[in-house]
Amino acid sequence: MKTSLFLLLIGGVAFATTAVSEERSDWESVFDSFDAQGTIVVVDERDSDGTVQVFDQDRASQRLSPASTYKIPHTLFALDAGVVQDEFEVFEWDGVERSFSGYNSDQDLRSAMRMSAVWVYQKFAADIGTEAAQKYLERIDYGNANPSVEEGSYWIDGELAISAYEQISFLKQLYRNELPFSVEHQRLVKDLMIVEAGSDWIVRAKTGWDGSIGWWVGWVEWPAGPVFFALNIDTPNRMDDLAKRELITREILLSLDALPAR
C-alpha cells in the first residue's frame, strides 16, 4: 500500500486527487476465473481514510462509454428539467416491439431504471436537448461532458465517456447529496438505484452495456459507512458475458466483507 498524489491523464485532461491507494494485483485471479478482462475501483469508507483499492490503474483511468450507468445522472437531469415529475408518472409504451420484452410495456421511473428501458431515456434526451444536456454534464464534471452523436443515443453510441475513477467521484457526490440538484431529487434517484438490501446494508447500483464494454457501478451502504465500486469489463461474447459484471464485483466485495455471504 502506498500514499500518493494521483495525477491521472484521461483523454488529454489531467486531474489530481490525494488518496491512500492500493494496487490489488491479487484481484487478477478473480477476473481470470471468469475469463474476463477489465478493471475495478473500490473505495471503502468504513475505515477512516477511504482507501482506494484498484485492479489495473491504467484501465481505471481510461474513459469509456457509460452506457446505461448514465441513467443515474440522466434521471437527475430529467427531474431538474421537469421532463418527468416524479416516480409515479407513467410513460406510455409506443407500441414498438423491442428485443427485450421488459421494454414492451408502459414504464415509470422505477421500472425504467430497473429494466434499463432505453426508449424512456431517449425521450428524456429529446426533451432536454443537446445544449442543455452538455450544460448539465459540465455542471457535474461528468467524464468528458460531450453529448455529441452522429446517430443513436449519445451515452451508448456517441462521444460521451467516463472512467472508473470518475464514476466513483460522481457516486460519492450523489451519496452525500452534494450534486447541484435538489436533495429531494438526489434521494429519489438513490431510491431508484436499490438492487438488494438486508437488515443493515443496502446495495444501490446500475449496470451498463454498449455492446462491447459492460459496467456495474454503485455502492454498498453499511452503518459504518459506504463501500463504492466501479467495474468495467470487455464483453467479446456479448450477452453471454453480462452476468460477469456482477459476479466479479460481488466476489471482490465478499472478500472485503463489504457484502454478506449468501
Distance between CA atoms of residues 113 and 50, nearest Å: 29
Which is it for the CA torsion 131, 205, 60, 39, positive or negative? negative
Distance between CA atoms of residues 244 and 234, nearest Å: 10
CB 163 within 8 A of CB 6: no
Q: Taking each helix axis from N to C terminus, what angle separates 130-139 and 71-81, rounded to the nearest 10 degrees?
A: 110
* Catalytic residue chosen out of the listed positions 68, 116, 153, 163: 68
CB 166 within 8 A of CB 10: yes
The torsion angles phi and psi of 105, rounded to 5 degrees, stand at -165, 170
Burial class, 245, CB count within 10 angstroms (exposed 0-12 / middle 13-18 / buried 19+): buried
Query: In the annotation, is 182 catalytic?
Result: no
Q: What angle do CA 78, 84, 86 make, to 5 degrees?
A: 110
> What's the DSSP call for residue 69?
G
Burial class, 35, CB count within 10 angstroms (exposed 0-12 / middle 13-18 / buried 19+): exposed
Beta strands in 83-158 (DSSP E): none
Would you name the residues annotated as active-site residues?
68
